[in-house]
A and B are shown apart, each in its own frame.
Chain A
Amino acid sequence: MADFKLRRSLLYVPGNMPSMLQNIPIFNCDSVIIDLEDAVPLAEKDAARHLVKRFLLNYTDRNKELLVRINPLDSKWGYEDLKVVLPAMPDGIRLPKADTPEIVERLDTLLTEFEEELEVEIGRFGILPSLESALGVINAVGIANSSERIFALAFGAEDYTASMEIERSRGGEELFNARTRVLWAAKAKGIQAVDTIFADVSDMEGLRAETELAKRLGYTGKCLVNPRQIEVVHDVFAPKEHEVEYALQVIEAIKRARQLGTGVIALGGKMVDAPVVKRAARVLRTAYAHGMVDTLIDEEEIHGAQ
């Protein structure tokens, strides 16, 4: 919980477009995923990774998490992507087609080698695996446990529906099982779960509905294809005011409880115990990121002094 990092919005930016890379600092998404994979035509693979490297080296006042989606490790570009981009210090790698734990383990090993070579802390580069096939979804639990670098699991519906030989619908009923399985794996491991992109940039209602569904299920973030989608996604993930108010009451209540030497107390006729406090703490951290409360809550207040 101490390394709580808000990842509501992960914006894809094509790695071969200087005009779009240049604007990365200005958008208020939580993370950016610079894409070297699907967005980049074959003829530009080489140019793009060097462009991305230059951009990252010049982006010194970093104000958001920077991930790079490399090409699959079994393609002829994947390794070269890492080699060129990692010295420019992205925060992590989005690994496409992470179908098995072994693929992620391979990336983990490579990252360790690069970290040694670059003389940076082992574990500096995170991994965000994309579960985007039937196989990946089935292996979700194994993948979640395959590397300590993994901070979240990402579900990729476009490739997933292709692998299932089905169409993706606006309601998303066909994704329900896969979404849930990815979530279980993430929550069991105690990491975040990031929902798939919503491709229709002009359909803000559809985006809102899908994000609300993802949030209800337990996802904490969503991948985006256009900066215009950030506002809706943040709006959905923002705690409602009554939730913040209740969370503040919960924290007050549990502080009183600790003074009384207990870990359980009643608030408005309902029992407040550890899971309730945990949920309240999460609401307040998110509220802080949204500027809804002024101070971050103290870990000690939540868990009590050791």
Chain B
Amino acid sequence: MPTVAVLSMKGGVGKTTVTLGLASAALARRFRVLVIDLDPQGNSTMGLGVDSPVFTMNDVLADPRPGVAADALTDSSWDRLVQVLAADRALEHRNTVEGAHSSQRLRVALGGLPARYDLVLIDCPPSLGEMTRNALTAATSALIVTEPSYFALHGAEQALEAVDVIRATSNPALRTSTVVVNRARTTVADHRQRIGELREAYGSLVSETMVPERNAIPQAEGAGIPIHAWESPAGKELAGVFDSLLDQIAPALRVRPLGWMR
């Protein structure tokens, strides 16, 4: 199953927005989705309507026995098809090297769990530390989120280097990354310049699909509902954007599963 690590070195560029947007797109096609929140801020957890989960990723990674993550699964408030491995602030304790196989903790703890889902999304913290190493080691592909700004582009560059490092060390199967630009305003000259720089540097790695800046995103996140359920012109526009991005990162999910009406 596609297991996508959503990352960036810079904070605030929209990793959670993209994670939730993709989860929303997959849910709209009635696919089973697992969101793994590795950010101690727990924004994906909150956005999916999970409140006070019994177990979190902190508990899972503190005791990463094979398959133990299944005990921490929590239903989202969106739909029974979307489940969550929640984050809490204590997860920050795990963002250090622990033990000889530290970067393998997530992969081991997940065991066969990803096979139960059509799509697994890992929302990484805004750093390239141990949590992100774990995410990339467990992932089949990486999605790097950036903004069209000078600092964010540097963050994207660092994240792409991190993917290369992980591919050369703990996860040779990690596929080529995709870079997605969030909060794009093509009417702004500086944005056009930065997007041009990004395409020049990374060519086809940069997705043609860009996420525009719209108020519907924080509104839907605040309401705890998927963007596909946000009934406004901007909501519909964003739904189309995330549908397109999902087609790109998980082509196998273009077709609705048999029995999706169940």
Asked if A pairs with B, the answer is no
Which B residues contact A (CB, under 8 angstroms)?
Answer: none
Which A residues contact B (CB, under 8 angstroms)?
Answer: none
